[in-house]
């Protein structure tokens, strides 16, 4: 095997699938002059890829060089712009960290390239296996949930015992992973990809601030504005603005360090079975959980007012009323059982609340058939109507 020259970097892969996907993405972006390393050659049989050497990664560069503020903000601006450019071409790099950018110093100029597309998604080159990443608390919530769903489906396909929490370490057989072929992975269907990229970029820039606090302390509030966004248009606009501000070097007046990509542990078929100990309890955080609580209170109020209306107007419970109450009760039981599903528990709860609002409107409709006054019906409909508006707002602000 020919050894690469000093100006060439050789990346080795564990399978042809990984090599093929990275080669396709790099070639696709290279033809569009995106800031990625140019390809020199690839070898399918030996599973390696030679590309132009881009220099040290940004983490090494930030810790080993005597740097000025201009050099730092210029490099971080180029890194942010590289994420924007590749995303605009439909390549979403979910492993955003200083180690995945390399910097090449030239005379009077420095150039930053984005590297390592093993954990990227692109509609032109669909995934056939789960991304080799674990959900982690520092990731955007949408990415955490999508990764957890994909690994849960992987475990279910291979009839493996599910871990108690996907954010803790879990094991994946290398043989099963190599032989697994699937489609329609959740990470590819994320509705908030710009939010995910912006959040990861914000975490990376905050890591840079930790390395160079003397130069970047004034930028902390700017970097934090990229975290936990919920609207793609806002996230994209903030990324573009921040890349521009960093280029100009103008800031508008415990951090998480991405040392390594959080990954499952690869085990071989001969490895002894590993008992997964119960994980410590983690509080389930969700940005709009309290809004569901408000909807629940409104729904409880709605049932109370409807019950009073039936008693005051001496209306009997018809077969339709009994059917509505039985249906809502059954859905509620199913929803409570669904809360045991850690990945989709919020979806189950939201479905229960939807069922209650629909049931209340059906009960009110029956009172209208019995010629109850419209003013009274309007009062009865107030609580479920507001609950429905809250549920609809939550649905538009969160991934399904």
Cα separation, 309 vs 376, in Å, equals: 9
Looking at the fold, whether 37 and 96 belong to one and the same domain comes out as: yes
Judge whether 252 lies within some domain: yes
Q: Determine the pLDDT at residue 281.
A: 40
Cα separation, 203 vs 80, in Å, equals: 12
Higher pLDDT, 397 or 24: 24
Q: For the whole model, what pTM was predicted?
A: 0.65
Looking at the fold, whether 264 and 304 belong to one and the same domain comes out as: no
Looking at the fold, whether 27 and 148 belong to one and the same domain comes out as: yes
Looking at the fold, whether 235 and 336 belong to one and the same domain comes out as: no
Domain end among 272, 301, 324: 272
For residue 53, is pLDDT > 70? yes
Higher pLDDT, 123 or 335: 123
Judge whether 339 lies within some domain: yes
Q: Determine the pLDDT at residue 287.
A: 45
Region 98-126: mean pLDDT is 91
Domain end among 272, 304, 328: 272
Judge whether 282 lies within some domain: no
Looking at the fold, whether 49 and 161 belong to one and the same domain comes out as: yes
Cα separation, 171 vs 274, in Å, equals: 8
Give 172-220 pLDDT, tens digit per residue: 999 999 999 999 999 999 999 999 999 999 999 999 999 999 999 999 9
Judge whether 362 lies within some domain: yes
Give 151-173 pLDDT, tens digit per residue: 999 999 999 999 988 988 899 99
Judge whether 277 lies within some domain: no
Domain end among 272, 299, 330: 272
Judge whether 280 lies within some domain: no
φ/ψ of 233, rounded to 5, equals -60, -40
For residue 310, is pLDDT > 50? yes
Give the E-state strand segments of 270-365 in sequence order. none
Range of the domain at 367: 289-397
Q: Determine the pLDDT at residue 280.
A: 40
Q: Determine the pLDDT at residue 376.
A: 75
Region 357-368: mean pLDDT is 79
Looking at the fold, whether 336 and 221 belong to one and the same domain comes out as: no
CATH of the domain at 233: 1.10.510
CA 220 from centre of chain: 22
Judge whether 279 lies within some domain: no
Q: Residue 103 contacts by C-beta under 8 Å, 6 or more apart in sequence?
A: 54, 55, 56, 57, 58, 61, 75, 110, 111, 112, 113
Looking at the fold, whether 267 and 319 belong to one and the same domain comes out as: no
Number of domains in the chain: 2
Higher pLDDT, 336 or 178: 178
Looking at the fold, whether 265 and 303 belong to one and the same domain comes out as: no
Region 109-128: mean pLDDT is 94
Region 337-357: mean pLDDT is 68
Q: By mean pLDDT, which of 43-52, 110-119, 217-226, 381-390 is the weakest?
A: 381-390
How confident is residue 358, by pLDDT bands cut at 50, 70 and 90? confident
Looking at the fold, whether 155 and 91 belong to one and the same domain comes out as: yes
Looking at the fold, whether 308 and 215 belong to one and the same domain comes out as: no
Looking at the fold, whether 172 and 30 belong to one and the same domain comes out as: yes
Cα separation, 51 vs 307, in Å, equals: 72
Give 388-398 pLDDT, tens digit per residue: 677 666 555 54
Region 221-231: mean pLDDT is 96
Q: Determine the pLDDT at residue 274.
A: 43
Looking at the fold, whether 77 and 11 belong to one and the same domain comes out as: yes
Give 252-275 pLDDT, tens digit per residue: 653 344 456 777 877 766 554 444
Higher pLDDT, 232 or 368: 232
Give the E-state strand segments of the chain in sequence order. 8-12, 39-43, 48-52, 92-93, 101-106, 109-114, 120-121, 171-173, 265-267
Average pLDDT, the chain: 84
Q: Determine the pLDDT at residue 254.
A: 37
Judge whether 281 lies within some domain: no
Q: Determine the pLDDT at residue 256.
A: 40
Tokens of 294: 């408000």
């Amino acid at each position: 095997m020919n050894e690469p020259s000093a100006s060439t970097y050789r990346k080795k892969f564990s399978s042809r699938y990984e090599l093929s996907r990275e080669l396709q993405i790099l070639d696709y972006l290279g033809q569009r002059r995106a800031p990625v390393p140019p390809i020199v050659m690839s070898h399918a049989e030996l599973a390696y890829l030679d590309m132009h050497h881009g220099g040290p990664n940004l983490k090494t560069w930030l810790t080993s060089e005597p740097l000025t503020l201009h050099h730092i903000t210029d490099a971080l601006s180029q890194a942010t712009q590289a994420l924007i450019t590749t995303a605009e071409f439909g390549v979403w790099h979910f492993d955003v960290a200083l180690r995945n950018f390399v910097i090449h110093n030239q005379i009077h100029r420095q150039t930053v390239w984005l590297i390592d597309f093993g954990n990227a998604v692109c509609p032109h080159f669909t995934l056939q296996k789960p991304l080799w990443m674990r959900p982690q608390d520092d990731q955007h919530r949408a990415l955490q949930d999508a990764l957890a769903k994909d690994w849960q489906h992987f475990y279910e396909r291979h009839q493996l015992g599910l871990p108690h929490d996907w954010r803790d370490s879990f094991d994946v057989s290398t043989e099963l992973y190599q032989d697994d072929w699937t489609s329609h992975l959740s990470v590819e269907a994320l509705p908030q990809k710009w939010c995910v990229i912006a959040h990861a970029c914000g975490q990376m820039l905050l890591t840079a601030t930790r390395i160079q606090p003397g130069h970047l302390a004034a930028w902390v509030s700017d970097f934090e504005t990229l975290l936990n966004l919920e609207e793609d248009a806002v996230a994209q606009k903030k990324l573009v603005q921040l890349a521009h501000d960093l280029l100009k070097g103008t800031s508008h007046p415990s951090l998480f360090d991405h040392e390594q990509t959080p990954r499952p542990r690869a085990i071989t078929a001969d490895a002894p079975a590993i008992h997964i100990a119960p994980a410590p309890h983690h509080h389930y955080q969700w940005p709009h959980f309290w809004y569901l609580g408000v909807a629940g209170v409104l729904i409880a109020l709605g049932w109370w007012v409807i019950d009073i209306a039936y008693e005051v107007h001496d209306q009997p419970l018809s077969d339709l009323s009994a059917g509505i109450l039985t249906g809502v009760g059954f859905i509620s039981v199913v929803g409570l059982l669904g809360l045991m599903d850690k990945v989709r528990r919020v979806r189950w709860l939201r479905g229960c609340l939807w069922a209650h609002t629909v049931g209340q409107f059906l009960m009110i409709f029956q009172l209208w058939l019995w010629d109850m006054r419209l003013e009274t019906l309007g009062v009865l409909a107030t609580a479920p109507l507001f609950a429905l508006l809250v549920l609809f707002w939550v649905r538009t602000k969160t991934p399904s």
